[in-house]
């Protein structure tokens, strides 16, 4: 079995699966059970300043988006940071960490954007023996209206400033959690780096309304007929999060900063993908909230099995392996020509490829009297839509055309050399290739 | 005296009261809303879907399933009923495993088709239980049409004609409308008075008068109808039953399966219905299976379904054959009855084993029987009908007979399988042709 041992900015955990700062990590009872279930670490649900705890709504906190058979694809929430007393949390953190020294214990913090506030709480957290802190600059609702959470995360200068305070008043690793509710994720990441952050974690949740009740005209989740944008998470946000992760992993000002990946991680495969995009570990929330803590067992066994199969002996072996392959559109090889191919043995003749291609794409699939569907190579631009709508895995594949063959659509010979838009004759600002 | 399955002879009350309720409950219980959503989610919304092609009434199945999946079952019902006004009954009795569900691409993909029949029932029940009739009549045309037979073909035609604004009178020989839906289909396929409820719902369109107890030949003549109405649609089904032309074929205890089923369907108290300890059903069609299974469910100890060819040649679908077997019916194949033995009442049926080509083998077998149900085919009865072909009214196109102004459909006419859904399609299509002809 592959070694899943994780060392993230010096914080060790038996596997790279941490529970993200969220309801599953709100108290000792949950965290102990999570550790017993096998989670490598937790980021304790966000602590606020000393004083009266925050108040949550007393109606629904979550809204959902479903796929077939009510499979939960996306979840949003309007819950705030912990609504339990600061000192109760701190005592519990200390106890649990003492009992589980091999697990990662990170404390998420959100206090006002004032140096005194951070100076006050950081020693208290330091005293718990936790392994590090995560700065919650992400929550898009409630706290942001009080100048915290996303209100800080959307201003790179504040991020840098607060990070600097944390590095000043706290001795262990500082992870800055980023909000995706911004235009360019590289800016806050660079600010965190400039402030001395040991790592960034992303993404926090996305501003969202999951649905509107057509009877009451209230957004969901509805509190007495009104709704507020909540933070969206779950499998639906994974593509957005992975793109942001990759931008940081390959950004000129951000490359190299350790990343803790968050966003819709539901299976070992999701985790592996995040790691190949440069993440040192991953954080999970929605999957645990959907299925319970036990899912970590599948994540551990799946990742381990895949690593064994690929010959990877540690997480570091493949971390970032996909980063060099993330590029800008202008550098994609325009001489790469593919054609869709339908495997007639696997085809169940549903005709979805035909409907999609005929109605919305390039009219490149034919239908016969007896419902045999075939690709018309002379029309196929290899857009992949047929593959995407086909219900049978691997029934339709994109086959690369060998150099030297003639593309029946363009009547041009497929060139063996790589050539991209920057040198393309149609590009007004093309740089001469010759 | 208390009877049991072991009581010899023909006896009623072989089961405890609860046994009847259990045995004759819904064969396929209705899907609940969650089950319907799960089932609907499995539909791929195929292009030019094979299930539509396989449906004799061309229901847009992917559309209605998507309408269920998106929470609008009444819209789904309208999609179904606009093509097939008896979509509720067809959802219950269609051999879907040979039609839409056989064609379903998920049958090809994983051997588990989308539950089209049950979803159709979910949608139509949802609408009909609310008493909603989603169609309304066009302006009255002043044209009149006589329909003979209030079965699926006749009612389907009547509804379509009435909807188009014509005045329709439906004549039926039986005391109630519904035809085979009311009298000829196994009780467990349409429990709780559904057949009658569906007729009542269908008649909400208006413009349809039903006259029961009026049979063509006895009470009506085709010439008379032609003179009185602008058009006539014949849909009286097959009223005659082939006899058992063997020695002793007229002994007590030898009955027509269709009568047995009709009695069962009309019985208020199933425990009062007599059934043999040893029942032999002769035939291989849906009627034979319905009679055999229901004999068993009434408490018969031994039920044998005897068919002259192999199982692959039976008209009853594989599903029906398996259903019979699962209920404990013994299916004997390659046997032809040669004699019915017994002193006044039947005691045994003697069969000869025959080869695939029906040639005799000379080997005989006797099967104990105190009740014999004949299900060896039905015939068209009546005189003065349009020309026949193969014992049925010859039709071309959308049910046009050899007589001007007279159309025919359903079991009494040529073309199509003798299925409820086929009858509905034929009635609908004949109605459209009648309409075109009347308004042309």
**Per-residue pLDDT reduced to its tens digit, B32-73:** 999 999 999 999 999 999 999 999 999 999 999 999 999 999
Q: What is the pLDDT of residues A387-397, one digit of tens each?
A: 999 999 999 99
Least CB-CB distance to A392: which of B45, B50, B109? Answer: B109
What's the mean pLDDT in B328-348?
Answer: 95
Band of residue A183 on the pLDDT scale cut at 50, 70, 90: very high
**CB–CB contact A349 B105 (8 Å):** yes
Give the C-alpha separation, B329 to B332, whole Å: 10
Q: Which two three-digit tokens encode residue B15?
A: 């089961």
B105 contacts in chain A (CB < 8 Å): 348-350
Burial class (CB in 10 A: 0-12, 13-18, 19+), B240: middle
Q: What is the pLDDT of residues A27-61, one digit of tens each?
A: 999 999 999 999 999 999 999 999 999 999 999 99
Q: Is the dihedral of CA A121, A126, A130, A136 positive or negative?
A: positive
Least CB-CB distance to A351: which of B42, B47, B108? Answer: B47
* pLDDT exceeds 60 at position B1: no
Put simply, whether A350 touches B (Cβ < 8 Å) is yes
Closest chain A C-alpha to B107 CA, distance in angstroms? 9
Band of residue B383 on the pLDDT scale cut at 50, 70, 90: confident
Put simply, whether A372 touches B (Cβ < 8 Å) is no
Give the C-alpha separation, A256 to A277, whole Å: 12
End-to-end CA distance of chain B: 67
**CB–CB contact A348 B105 (8 Å):** yes
What's the mean pLDDT in A405-413?
Answer: 97
Range of weakest confidence among A168-182, A321-335, B12-26: B12-26
Ramachandran category for residue A90: left, alpha or beta (phi over 0 → left; psi -120 to 50 → alpha): alpha
**CB–CB contact B109 A70 (8 Å):** no
Q: Which residue of B has its CA nearest to A345?
A: B109
Interface list for chain B against chain A, based on CB atoms closer than 8 Å:
37-38, 41-42, 44-50, 105-106, 108-109
Among B51, B105, B108, B113, which would you mutate to test the A interface (most chain A Cβ atoms within 10 Å of its Cβ)? B105
Put simply, whether A70 touches B (Cβ < 8 Å) is yes
Least CB-CB distance to B47: which of A70, A352, A391? Answer: A352
* pLDDT exceeds 80 at position B2: no
- CA dihedral in degrees (B89, B92, B96, B97; nearest 10)? -160
A355 contacts in chain B (CB < 8 Å): 47
**CB–CB contact A352 B41 (8 Å):** no
Mean pLDDT rounded to a whole number for chain A: 95
Q: What is the number of other CB atoms lying within 10 angstroms of the CB of residue B209?
A: 12
Give the C-alpha separation, B356 to B333, whole Å: 10
Least CB-CB distance to A367: which of B44, B48, B108? Answer: B48
**Domain architecture of chain B: domains with CATH:** 33-128 (1.10.1060.10), 144-239+380-438 (3.50.50.60), 242-377 (3.50.50.60)
What's the mean pLDDT in B418-436?
Answer: 96
Closest chain B C-alpha to A57 CA, distance in angstroms? 30
Is residue B157 within 8 Å of B428, Cβ to Cβ? yes
Least CB-CB distance to A350: which of B37, B38, B44? Answer: B44
What's the mean pLDDT in A131-139?
Answer: 92
> Number of Cβ pairs closer than 8 Å across A and B?
37
Give the C-alpha separation, B203 to B209, whole Å: 9
Q: What is the number of other CB atoms lying within 10 angstroms of the CB of residue A271?
A: 26
Least CB-CB distance to A348: which of B37, B38, B109? Answer: B109
**CB–CB contact B48 A69 (8 Å):** no
The reported pLDDT for the residue numbered A70 is: 86
Rg of chain B taking only CA atoms, in angstroms: 22
**In degrees rounded to 5, what are phi and psi of residue A263?**
140, 95
Closest chain A C-alpha to B47 CA, distance in angstroms? 5
Q: What is the pLDDT of residues A287-298, one digit of tens each?
A: 999 999 999 999
What's the mean pLDDT in B247-263?
Answer: 93
Put simply, whether A301 touches B (Cβ < 8 Å) is no
Closest chain B C-alpha to A401 CA, distance in angstroms? 29
A348 contacts in chain B (CB < 8 Å): 105-106, 108-109
**CB–CB contact B106 A348 (8 Å):** yes
The partner residues of B171 in beta bridges, in order of sequence, read: B148, B211
Least CB-CB distance to A68: which of B41, B108, B109? Answer: B41
Mean pLDDT rounded to a whole number for chain B: 95
* pLDDT exceeds 80 at position B312: yes
Closest chain A C-alpha to B109 CA, distance in angstroms? 6
Which one of the listed residues A113, A139, A380, A386 is annotated catalytic? A139
Closest chain B C-alpha to A383 CA, distance in angstroms? 20
Q: What is the number of other CB atoms lying within 10 angstroms of the CB of residue A207?
A: 17
Band of residue A285 on the pLDDT scale cut at 50, 70, 90: very high
Band of residue B3 on the pLDDT scale cut at 50, 70, 90: confident
Among A350, A354, A392, which would you mutate to test the B interface (most chain B Cβ atoms within 10 Å of its Cβ)? A350
A139 is catalytic: yes
* pLDDT exceeds 90 at position A151: no
* pLDDT exceeds 60 at position B132: yes
Give the C-alpha separation, B37 to B20, whole Å: 32
* pLDDT exceeds 60 at position A433: no
The reported pLDDT for the residue numbered A432 is: 58
Position with higher pLDDT, B410 vs A141? B410
Least CB-CB distance to A350: which of B38, B41, B46? Answer: B46
A349 contacts in chain B (CB < 8 Å): 46, 50, 105, 108
**CB–CB contact A352 B42 (8 Å):** no
The reported pLDDT for the residue numbered A144 is: 77
What's the mean pLDDT in A127-146?
Answer: 87
* pLDDT exceeds 80 at position A145: no
B106 contacts in chain A (CB < 8 Å): 348
Q: Which residue of B has its CA nearest to A393?
A: B109
Among A348, A353, A394, which would you mutate to test the B interface (most chain B Cβ atoms within 10 Å of its Cβ)? A348
Give the C-alpha separation, A159 to A170, whole Å: 16
Rg of chain A taking only CA atoms, in angstroms: 25
Q: Look up residue A86 and give its DSSP letter.
A: H
The reported pLDDT for the residue numbered A310 is: 96
Closest chain B C-alpha to A353 CA, distance in angstroms? 9
**CB–CB contact A348 B41 (8 Å):** no
**DSSP H stretches of helix in B229-317:** 257-266, 286-297
Closest chain A C-alpha to B69 CA, distance in angstroms? 9
* pLDDT exceeds 80 at position A140: no
Q: Look up residue B400 and give its DSSP letter.
A: B
Q: Which residue of A has its CA nearest to B34?
A: A69
**CB–CB contact A352 B45 (8 Å):** yes
Put simply, whether A371 touches B (Cβ < 8 Å) is yes
Q: Is the dihedral of CA B273, B274, B277, B282 positive or negative?
A: negative
End-to-end CA distance of chain A: 52
């Amino acid at each position: 079995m592959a070694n899943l041992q994780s060392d993230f900015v010096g914080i060790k955990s038996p596997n790279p699966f941490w529970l993200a700062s969220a309801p599953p990590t709100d108290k000792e009872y949950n965290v102990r059970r999570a550790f017993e279930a096998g989670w490598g670490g937790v980021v304790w649900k966000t602590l606020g300043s000393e004083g009266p705890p925050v108040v949550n709504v007393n109606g629904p906190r979550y809204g959902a988006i479903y796929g077939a058979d009510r499979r939960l694809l996306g979840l949003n929430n309007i819950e705030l940071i912990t609504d339990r007393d600061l000192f109760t949390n701190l005592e519990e953190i200390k106890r649990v960490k003492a009992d589980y020294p091999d697990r990662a214990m990170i404390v998420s913090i959100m206090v006002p954007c004032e140096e005194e506030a951070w100076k006050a709480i950081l020693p208290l957290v330091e005293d718990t023996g936790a392994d590090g802190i995560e700065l919650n600059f992400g929550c898009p609702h409630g706290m942001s209206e009080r100048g915290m959470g996303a209100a800080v995360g959307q201003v790179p200068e504040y991020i840098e400033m607060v990070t600097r305070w944390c590095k000043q008043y706290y001795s262990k690793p500082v992870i800055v959690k980023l909000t995706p509710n911004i235009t360019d994720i590289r800016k806050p990441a660079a600010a965190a780096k400039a402030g001395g952050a040991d790592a960034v974690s992303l993404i926090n949740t996305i501003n969202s309304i999951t649905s509107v009740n057509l009877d009451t005209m209230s957004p969901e989740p509805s509190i007495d007929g009104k709704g507020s944008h909540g933070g969206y998470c779950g499998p639906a946000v994974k593509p957005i999060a992975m793109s942001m992760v990759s931008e940081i992993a390959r950004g000129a000002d951000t490359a190299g900063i350790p990343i803790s990946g968050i966003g819709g991680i539901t299976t070992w495969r999701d985790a592996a993908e995040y790691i190949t995009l440069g993440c040192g570990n991953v954080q999970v929330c929605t999957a645990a909230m959907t299925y319970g803590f036990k899912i970590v067992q599948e994540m551990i066994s799946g990742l381990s099995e895949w690593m064994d199969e690929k010959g990877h002996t540690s997480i570091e072996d493949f971390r970032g392996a996909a980063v060099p392959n993330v590029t800008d559109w202008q550098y994609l090889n325009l001489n790469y020509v593919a054609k869709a191919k339908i495997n007639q043995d696997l085809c169940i003749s549903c005709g979805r490829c035909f409907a999609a291609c005929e109605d919305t794409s390039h009219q490149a699939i034919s239908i016969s009297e007896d419902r045999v569907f075939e690709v018309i190579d002379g029309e196929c631009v290899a857009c992949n839509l047929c593959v995407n709508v086909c219900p049978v895995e691997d029934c339709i594949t994109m086959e690369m055309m060998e150099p030297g063959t003639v593309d029946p659509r363009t009547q041009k010979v497929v060139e063996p050399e790589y050539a991209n838009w920057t040198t393309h004759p149609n590009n007004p600002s093309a740089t001469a290739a010759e | 005296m208390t009877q049991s399955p072991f009581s010899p002879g023909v006896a009623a009350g072989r089961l405890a009261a609860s046994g009847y309720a259990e045995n004759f409950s819904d064969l396929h219980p209705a899907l609940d809303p969650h089950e319907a959503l799960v089932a609907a989610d499995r539909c791929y919304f195929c292009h030019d879907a094979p299930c539509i092609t396989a449906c004799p009434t061309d229901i847009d199945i992917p559309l209605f399933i998507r309408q269920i999946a998106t929470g609008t079952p009444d819209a789904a019902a309208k999609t179904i009923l606009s093509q097939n006004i008896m979509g509720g009954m067809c959802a219950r009795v269609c051999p879907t495993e040979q039609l839409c569900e056989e064609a379903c691409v998920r049958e090809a993909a994983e051997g588990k088709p989308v539950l089209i029949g049950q979803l159709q029932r979910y949608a139509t029940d949802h609408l009909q239980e609310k008493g909603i009739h989603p169609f309304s009549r066009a302006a009255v045309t002043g044209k009149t049409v006589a329909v003979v037979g209030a079965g699926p073909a006749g009612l389907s035609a009547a509804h379509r004609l009435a909807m188009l604004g014509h005045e329709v009178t439906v004549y039926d020989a039986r005391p109630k409308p519904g035809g085979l839906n009311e009298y000829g289909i196994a009780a467990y396929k349409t429990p709780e008075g559904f057949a009658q409820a569906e007729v009542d719902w269908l008649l909400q369109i208006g413009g349809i008068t039903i006259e029961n107890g009026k049979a063509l030949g006895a009470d009506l003549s085709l010439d008379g109808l032609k003179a009185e109405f602008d058009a006539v649609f014949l849909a009286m089904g097959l009223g005659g039953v082939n006899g058992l032309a063997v020695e002793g074929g007229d002994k007590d205890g030898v009955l027509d399966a269709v009568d047995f089923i009709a009695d069962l369907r009309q019985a208020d108290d199933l425990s009062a219905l007599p059934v043999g300890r040893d029942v032999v059903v002769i035939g291989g069609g849906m009627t034979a299976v319905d009679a055999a299974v229901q004999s068993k469910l009434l408490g018969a100890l031994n039920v044998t379904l005897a068919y002259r060819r192999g199982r692959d040649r039976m008209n009853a679908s594989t599903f029906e054959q398996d259903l019979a077997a699962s209920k404990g019916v013994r299916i004997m194949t390659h046997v032809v009855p040669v004699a019915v033995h017994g002193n006044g009442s039947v005691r045994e049926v003697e069969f000869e084993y025959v080869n695939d080509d029906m040639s005799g083998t000379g080997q005989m077998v006797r099967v104990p029987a105190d009740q014999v149900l004949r299900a060896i085919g039905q015939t068209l009865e009546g005189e003065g009908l349009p020309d026949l072909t193969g014992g049925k009214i010859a039709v071309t196109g959308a049910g046009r007979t050899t007589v001007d102004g007279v159309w025919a459909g359903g079991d009494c006419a040529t073309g199509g399988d003798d299925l409820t859904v086929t009858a509905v399609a034929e009635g609908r299509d004949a109605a459209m042709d009648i309409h075109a002809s009347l308004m042309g």
